[in-house]
Structure formats: structure tokens, C-alpha cells
Structure 1
């Protein structure tokens, strides 16, 4: 689960970094345009073609674009720091070169194959299946108390007798015993309650597994539809 969380977090930050770089270029272009506009307005104001209000507005636009550009630089640097932190790099301020070209999409993907693969490797779903198996075993263990039981027992004994007089002054005996007990529990006050609790637990585990599978399938369909639509566009 931790590995999946790391991959998800790193992937999200990777594409966030690409997005922040694209925004930075756009803001840089906006600053260059507003700077050129300010230069033109200042020149026109000098010869009397533009008013002072036009000049002030051009300066306000330039300052606003410059502020957005600097703010975007901070956001991009924060993304670099986050990526270096995720990669456990000691230089957290290191600039990482990330390719932001168009991603090649595999158009041969099959939804059913992806779904079957997801069912086999998704950690939360696998854990839910394991919980289901354990709950079934617990239920069987509780119900096994309803069945007759058989107990086997065995033992052996050794005796040694000493006599003060006589031809046979000592006698020893070695004996082996074995037995079997068959029983049936007629009444157990806790058994009914334990069976009810075990059934409820199993039902809840199965419900959670079904809900998890439905949520996962819904997310898969959303991603599939989004990817299919993006590819067509």
C-alpha cells in the first residue's frame, strides 16, 4: 500500500511540475507583452498621443503580470523541492529536467484486460479478499462447536515391588492403557451469540469488499472514458 501511495504521489507531483513550467512560460510571455506595451505607451505619452491614465494603466498591467510571474516561479521551485524530497535527494533545491512533450498514448489498451489486471494487483482489494477468507474461517470455527467431538487418550504405568524374603524378591509390571471419549455439547450460552457475531462480521466484510470493488470499477470507467475522449480529440 505504501508503494502505491508513493507512486501516486510522485506521479501527481511529476505532472504538476510540468504544468507549473508551462504556466511559467505563459506568464513570462505575458510579462514580455505588457513590458512592450508599457514601452509603447510611454513613447506615445511623451509625444502626447496617450493620456496619463493610459500610462498608469499600462504600468499597473505590467506590475500585475510581473507579480504573477514571480509567484509562479515560487510555485515551480516548490514543486522541484517536493520532487527532490520524494526521491530522497539531499539537494532539495536541485532543478530537475523534466520532458514536457506530448505523451505517447497506447491506443491498443483493452478495458477488460486492464480491469482483470487491477483486480489481481490492487492492494486494498486483495486485503479485502484476505479479510473475507479469514472471516469465513472464523465462522466455520464457531459452527464447528455444534458437531460431536472425539477425544483420544492413552497412557502407561510401571510398578516395581520388592519383597523381603522368598524366591521372587522383586516383581515389576508394565501396563499400557488407551481410551476414546465421544461427546456432544448440549448447551453453551455463548455459542449462539458468537455465531451471530461471526455471521455479522462476515456480512460486513463481504459488503466492504463489494463496495470497494464497485468504487474501483467506477474510477476505472471514469479514467477510461476520459482517456478515450482525450485520444479522440
Structure 2
């Protein structure tokens, strides 16, 4: 029986029933579940809502404040008054009352342009929230991709091991048949059985790795970690990635770089707010008040009034203990740090892009080499299996050919997986990892 026939029979009798018994989780569905359920994305969305709610002209200090006030002061005093003619008037328990109530408006119309810098800073904070949300989404998409294709790779390796078990079982059957007709020794049967058991042991270890990978992916999807499923069995690689295009996209789209650029812009606006402390502050006040007062002793025992009150208040800072100079120096240092960090982020991004692209290109070529090796190993195993059945090669030679096929299958799967990892990494760095 040819290897291709054995492999097809294995898929039909073993793998297909398992797929039918388990939920098949396509990559697109896994990504959708992660975007809907992932905790980090939910937190980032809520943080962005806070930034959006905070970004308004009122929070920047551009609008007036209107307030209603009520002041009611009362007193009970033992009072003695000396009149102009020298006579005295005395009253124990004299009651006095002053009541004021009304509506007032207070509006800062100029504060050295601080309010405008504050509004621009609020805009930047909102954009930072958007960049952080994008980063959270990209990170989770990347996590899903990496863990999903790790599971695909593990399934492929399990399929290769299962194929080796089918072939080992065929070898055991052949050895037993040859032994029963006196053409092989008992030792050949025992060796074949030992190799079959070794393959089964490897199968159990691989099944454990798959279970662990499923638990990890379920955790990322924020669902029951015991949920059982299978993934598709193919890894497709984008072979058309171009470094210059990735570099250009990363400069304009990488969320970490954009967040750091916004941090620098925010530091610039903070410096403007601090410098505004050198300029005058002008406030307008107005209101409509009602007043009433009562006194038990005095020339006026009762009075009341109502009407408009207004005024203007201007203050010019002259000296505040040198705090203004200190605060400006601190703001300038913080801006300098933001610029340094931005340059550091740019160099780090460029380094990561170069390193990942070099690994991507190497593994892309490696997949082509391993594909050829796998084809050769498959042909070699077909020929070896035929020769083994007619007794023209030794069991050791057959086992070597079988192991070479298994190794070639695993190496090819690993090469495809690593190439996919670097493809995902490059797209994540470029800020265009989507589904």
C-alpha cells in the first residue's frame, strides 16, 4: 500500500470523525470572538469613552460658570449702643438677620491662552485613547493569529505522527505475517512493536500539547477554557511583503509610535499652559441678587433690595516665589524627554522591522527547501515500504526512512509556522494587521 493511500485512509477513518465530533473554529470566528469578549479591548474602549466625555470646551475652561447662592446669617446679641448725644441704648437678646440670595455668573475671558492649550491637550488625549484602543485591538488580533496558527501547526504534527503510527502498524502486521510463515524472526516482530509503541507515546505527548494550546486560545477568546474545538489544517503565507511599504506604513500607522508622538504633542501643550502663568488673568462677574436685613436695635431696623451686580477682575502675576521659572523649566525637560523617547521609539521600530523582515525572508526560502525535502522523503518512504514488504531491505532501513519522513513533515510545518509568525509580526508593526 502506498503512503498516499495510507494517509488518505487515516484521514478518512480517524481525523474526519474527530472534526465532525468537535466544533470547527475558523480563524475569522476566533478573531470576532476575541474582539467582542477580550477584557483588554473592553477596558481600552471604556478609557476612550472617558477621554471623549472629557474633551469639551467646558472642561478646557472656556465657558462661564453660573451658580445660585443663598446666604442667611442670624445672630442673637446683648447689644449696647452709644448715641451721638452720649446716651446709651441697651437691648438684651437683640435679633439680627442678613439674607442674600441670587444667581451669579463668573467667566474667565483671558488667561494667557491657557484654555486653548488645554482644549488642544484634551484633543490629543482623545487621540491617544484611540491609539491605545487600536494597539489593544492589534495586540489581541496578533495573539489570536499566533496561537491559532500554533494550534494548526500542532495539529499538522499530530497528523504526521498519526500517519507514522498507521505505517508502523502496517509494519507490525507485515512482520507478523512473515513470522507466521517462517520468513522472519520473533525479534523482527518485537522491534516493530517497540517502534509502534514509541510512535504512540509521541502521539500522547503531542495530544497534550494540543490541549494546552486550546486552553491558551480559549483564554485569549475570553470563553470557557474547557471549550473543545478543532482549527483548520492549513497555513497560508503572504509571500509578497515589501520592506519599504512596511516601513512607510509603520511610520504613519504604528500605534505605539503614534501614541508617543501624541505624548510629545501633549507635552508641548503643557508647556504652553505653564507659560500662560506669565500673562494677566481677566474675569467678568455678574449676577442678580436679592438682599434683606433685619435688626432689633439701630436707626434702620429693616431693609431689602434687589438688582443687577457686575464687575471685572484683572490680576497680573509679578512674583510667586520663582515658581513660574521652575515650572517652565520642568515642562521643557518633560518635552525634551518626550522627544528623546519618540526618537528611541522610531529607532526601536526600525530595528524590529529589519530583524523581523530578515527572519521572514529566510524562513520563506526555508519553506521551499523543506517542501522539496518532504516530497523526497515521501517518495523514499513509498519505495522503502514496498521493498520492506517483499523483504529486500532491513527493518532498520525502513525505520530510518519512516523517521526521515516524520522529521521532514515536522520541519516543513515548523518552517511554515515561523514564516507566518514573522508575517504577522511585520503586519502588526506596520499597523495594518487585519482580518
What TM-score do you get using the length of structure 1 for normalisation? 0.69
Equivalent position of 1:213 in the other structure: 346
Equivalent position of 2:161 in the other structure: 27
- Does residue 146 of structure 2 align to residue 15 of structure 1? no
Equivalent position of 2:228 in the other structure: 93
Per-residue CA deviations over 1:130-178 (Å, capped at 9, x if unaligned) read: 1111111222332343x453647788xxxxxxxxxxxxxxxxxx9x987
Deviation at 1:102, TM superposition (A): 4.2
Q: Measure the CA separation in 1 of the matches of 2:212 and 2:285.
A: 75
Could you say if the C-alpha distance between residues 57 and 2 of structure 1 is closer, same or farther in structure 2, counting changes exceeding 3 Å?
Answer: same
Larger relative CO (CA 8 A, sep 6+): 1 or 2?
A: 2
Residues 21 and 76 of structure 1 are in contact (CA less than 8 Å); yes or no, is this contact kept in structure 2? yes
- Does residue 325 of structure 2 align to residue 198 of structure 1? no
More strand by share: 2
Equivalent position of 2:274 in the other structure: 142
Deviation at 1:30, TM superposition (A): 2.2
Could you say if the C-alpha distance between residues 58 and 209 of structure 1 is closer, same or farther in structure 2, counting changes exceeding 3 Å?
Answer: same
- Aligned residue runs from structure 1 range 80-229, under 5 A: 80=214, 82-83=216-217, 86-87=220-221, 92-96=227-231, 98-100=232-234, 102-105=236-239, 107=240, 109-145=241-277, 147-149=278-280, 151=282, 183=316, 185-186=318-319, 188-229=321-362
- CA-atom RMSD, angstroms? 3.7
SS in 2 for 1:100: coil
Q: Measure the CA separation in 1 of the matches of 2:267 and 2:342.
A: 12
Deviation at 1:208, TM superposition (A): 2.1
Q: Measure the CA separation in 2 of the matches of 1:45 and 1:179.
A: 111
Report the more deviating stretch, 8-17 or 57-66: 57-66
Q: Structure 2, unaligned stretches of length 5 or more?
A: 1-134, 287-307, 369-435
Q: Measure the CA separation in 2 of the matches of 1:75 and 1:228.
A: 28
Q: Measure the CA separation in 2 of the matches of 1:50 and 1:70.
A: 30
Q: Structure 1, unaligned stretches of length 5 or more?
A: 156-173
Deviation at 1:3, TM superposition (A): 1.0
Could you say if the C-alpha distance between residues 85 and 55 of structure 1 is closer, same or farther in structure 2, counting changes exceeding 3 Å?
Answer: same
Could you say if the C-alpha distance between residues 225 and 4 of structure 1 is closer, same or farther in structure 2, counting changes exceeding 3 Å?
Answer: same
Deviation at 1:209, TM superposition (A): 1.9
- How many equivalent pairs are there? 210
Residues 136 and 202 of structure 1 are in contact (CA less than 8 Å); yes or no, is this contact kept in structure 2? yes
Q: Measure the CA separation in 1 of the matches of 2:223 and 2:282.
A: 64
